[in-house]
A and B are shown apart, each in its own frame.
Chain A
């Protein structure tokens, strides 16, 4: 890695918030995240008391549950120098929405603000905070990058993943049309309005295929499961992976929704 972390200081202690989807569906993303963080000179710890950031409750209008979960997350993570999340939407939840939740609770509002100030989505943390500008990784072939909505619009993640992807040996980036348009996942939206969601993911998959890339990458597992599930149902040869896997040199494991060997 060509970044020059400041060795004179003690390595920052990073609390990894792995997210409920990565924990259950794609542990490889968690391990890729750990590798990238350690390569960037951080020590990584994974607090036991984590489950989910609370978005399902928040977006269903259940404020009481969301608040309870937010308190749990704040308590589990406030001791770290940084909190890093391999997801723009969960990162945005912690760094943008917790503060709103506690608008009328001075004590927790302060704690939520303090946590928000040190919580980052993984790729933006590497580039914007740790100054990483290249990774030592290889990936053969063309990839296209889908800008997940929360990461893009809440956290301004756009240039950072592209910058790091450009440094991957053997990789070529082919932009798709409408890379910034939602894939139709939207958490519970995709099961509450399956037909509309399907129309959206069909368009997304058509843009991905038209890019000519063999692999689609994104920074949010929710979108990726939606996209991968559609690609798989269509019998498309395009593979879907979390961007962290490719950046960490773990891009040779089976893709999302693809078969395991043996």
Chain B
């Protein structure tokens, strides 16, 4: 996926002007927020569960090498294989090699953000293998050739009319006069089409929410059941998952599942929680003949031991973006890569470089709503601030901002000079504001006065007035 994060501001301007997108974003603003609140309130131990979830992740990350090794051993003991992929290229190459080994022509896929990250679809297509997304939202995006705009609701930026038009454009073998007015009929049509794909696919690729070291299982949750069909019908099941998905035990996965769906959609549990443990054994009623796991690093091990290690606790619930007023204003595509919202603003610079994604951690008011709902208590604003520190240290910020900040810093450290200048500024600005008490334009303050007036100061600062009144 091409990185358009450097054009964040232009992307944002376009998004703010897009009336259809703005309507679609309205659903996130209230729907998800209210549902999470109700779910959290209904569970007295929810806050304690968040602490436990955080502790599980912290413990695992502190011993990541051990748990990854243990996971590999248990997978292999159950007849599966594990490939460790250091880069995105290594990962997609590993998937291709397995597909070729099994002479695959069609691959079904259940939703996986990491497969977006490694650009798996584009790659497989180029190599003559047809990937088919089976999550309804992902399927819609695939036929539109678009990227997800949300990590759990990938097509949230679209409305029903757009989807109907896409279905009519692509499903040309179906009668033209068919009725697609209801969401249910759209869903029905997608089901019919996907059912055939499920039955003919040679390989099924899924992501994973958790990899369990104790049992060698990959756990994935969906609301559509598409991951079950993706992994149990084809001959071959490939799990593509990033290294930080590993947890020690099934019990740990269960704890994390309890906070995951509640934080994401406000459900107690997702509709389907599917566990894949090795290939089909003798006597199993179904399951694939071969089971492969591709473990993707792609920059993550470099985060271990740094300020950004905490980001690897993320369980991709989407709560941070559901609650983010900046995401609500501009939507997910504005962020310009796979991961949007607050978690993307921390993770994207780690994975594609802060020189490319430096806008993201800056485009935050640090309102802290993301951190207040994150089930694994990632201090997202603090981590965004760390990126700003990194940029500052490397002189990556615009010169005007640096100069302004430098001059202000000089004064802020010299109270007497500061007092003199603020005194003068108060007088000048107060005069400029006149009796109206506000300024509607001001040199160098265009960013402020473009959309709002600047309240004019009083003629005397508090410090000057206090001294006059109390003679301090």
Residues of A within 8 A of B (CB): 18, 20, 22-31, 45-46, 48-52, 54, 56-63, 65, 68-69, 72, 100, 149-150, 153-154, 180-182, 184-201, 203, 225-226, 228-230, 232-233, 254, 256-262
- Cβ distance B77 to chain A, nearest Cβ, rounded Å: 44
- Which residues of chain A come closer than 8 Å to B472, judged between CB atoms? 45-46, 48
Interface residues of A: mostly helix, strand, loop or mixed? helix
Complex CA distance for A52 and B463, rounded to whole angstroms: 13
B392 adjacent to A62 (CB under 8 Å)? yes
Chain B residues lying within 8 Å of A31, measured Cβ to Cβ, are 462, 465
CB-defined contacts of B389 to chain A, threshold 8 Å:
61-63
Q: State whether B448 touches A194 (Cβ < 8 A).
A: yes
Do the beta carbons of B16 and A61 come within 8 Å of each other? no
Interface membership of B413, Cβ < 8 A: yes
Q: Flag if A192 contacts B447 (CB, 8 Å).
A: yes
A191 and B448: CB pair below 8 A?
yes
Are B385 and A199 in contact, CB atoms less than 8 angstroms apart? no
Supposing A30-B466, A196-B329, A260-B437 touch, asked if A229 and B365 sit within 8 A by C-beta, the answer is: no
A229–B413 CB distance below 8 A: no
Whether B363 lies near A201 (C-beta < 8 A) is no
Interface size on B, residues (CB 8 A): 65
When C-beta atoms are compared, the residue in chain B nearest to A154 turns out to be: B368
Q: Is the CB of A232 within 8 A of B453?
A: yes
The closest CB in chain B to the CB of A69 belongs to: B412
The CB with the most chain B CB atoms within 10 A, among A23, A26, A57, is that of A23
Q: A51-B411, A56-B408, A233-B451 are in contact. Are A191 and B367 (CB under 8 A)?
A: no
B354 CB to closest chain A CB, in angstroms?
11
Q: A150's contact among B9, B368, B465, by CB below 8 Å, is which? A: B368
**Given that A198-B451, A232-B453 are known contacts, is A182 also in contact with B369, CB under 8 Å in the complex?**
yes
Q: Which of B371, B388, B397 contacts A59 (CB 8 A)?
A: B388
**List of B residues within 8 angstroms of A256 by Cβ:** 455
Partner of A198, one of B390, B413, B452: B452
A-B contact pairs, 25 of them (CB 8 A): A22-B462, A25-B457, A26-B458, A27-B458, A27-B465, A30-B466, A46-B472, A48-B419, A48-B472, A51-B415, A68-B409, A150-B368, A154-B368, A192-B363, A195-B451, A198-B451, A200-B365, A201-B451, A203-B325, A229-B438, A230-B451, A233-B452, A257-B438, A257-B455, A258-B437
Check B401 against A192 for contact (C-beta < 8 Å).
yes
> Chain A's nearest CB lies how many Å from the CB of B355?
15
- Considering the complex, give the chain B residue whose CB is closest to the CB of A57: B409
Give the nearest-CB partner of A19 in chain B.
Answer: B462
Q: Which residues of B contact A199 (CB under 8 A)?
A: 16, 329-330
> Whole-angstrom distance between the alpha carbons of A184 and B455 in the complex?
16
Which residue of the partner chain A has the closest CB to B389? A61
- Residues of A within 8 Å of B460, CB to CB, are 27
Q: Are B367 and A182 in contact (CB under 8 A)?
A: yes
Q: How far is the CA of A52 from the CA of B410 in the complex (A)?
A: 12
Within the assembled complex, what's the spacing in Å between the Cα atoms of A126 and B412?
A: 29
- Do A228 and B451 touch across chains, with their CB atoms under 8 A apart? no
Kindly state whether residue B275 has any CB partner on chain A within 8 Å: no
CB neighbours of B387 from chain A (8 A): 61
Mark out the residues of chain B between 41 and 84 whose CB falls within 8 Å of any chain A CB in the assembled complex: none
Instruction: Please tell me if the beta carbons of B455 and A24 are within 8 angstroms of each other in the complex.
Output: no
Known: A56-B408, A196-B329, A257-B438. A51 touches B418 (CB 8 A): yes
Q: Given A182-B367, A229-B454, A257-B455: A62 and B405 within 8 A (CB)?
A: yes
7 further A-B pairs in the complex, CB-CB below 8 A; given A59-B385, A180-B369, A229-B453: A27-B461, A30-B466, A57-B408, A65-B412, A65-B413, A193-B9, A200-B329
**Complex CA–CA separation, A57 to B472 (angstroms):** 29
Bound Cα distance from A41 to B447, whole angstroms:
43
Per-residue contact bits, chain B 354-372, to A (CB 8 Å; 1 contact, 0 not): 0000000011111111011
Query: A48 to B437, Cβ gap below 8 A?
Result: no
Bound CA–CA A181/B34 (angstroms): 13
> With A23-B461, A69-B412 in contact, do A58 and B385 touch (Cβ < 8 Å)?
yes
Q: What residues of A have a CB within 8 angstroms of the CB of B408 in the complex?
A: 56-57
B275 CB, nearest partner CB in chain A, Å = 37
Which residues from chain B contact A30 at a C-beta distance below 8 Å?
462, 466
Which one of A29, A195, A254, A261 has the highest number of Cβ atoms from chain B below 10 Å of its Cβ? A195
* B465 to A, closest residue via Cβ: A27
Q: Is the CB of B413 within 8 A of A68?
A: yes
Point out the residue from B363, B392, B413, B453 that lies within 8 Å of A61, measured CB to CB: B392
Instruction: Give residues 331-383 of B contacting A (CB, 8 Å).
Output: 362-369, 371-372, 382
Could you say which residues of chain A place their CB within 8 Å of the CB of B454? 225, 229, 257
Contact B16 A196 (CB under 8 A): yes
Smallest Cβ distance from A222 to chain B, in angstroms? 10
Contact B463 A184, beta carbon cutoff 8 Å: no
Whether B451 contacts A49 by the Cβ 8 Å rule is no
* Residues on the B chain within 8 Å of A29, using CB: 462
Q: Is the CB of A259 within 8 A of B415?
A: no
Residues of B close to A57: CB separation below 8 A: 405, 408-409, 412
In the bound complex, CA of A261 to CA of B436 (Å)? 9
Q: Contacts A193-B12, A194-B447 given: A201-B452 contact, CB under 8 Å?
A: yes
Query: In the complex the two chains form, is A61's CB within 8 Å of B372's CB?
Result: no
Q: Give, as a whole number of angstroms, the nearest-CB distance from B385 to chain A.
A: 7
Instruction: Give chain A residues whose Cβ lies under 8 Å from the Cβ of B367.
Output: 149, 153, 181-182, 186
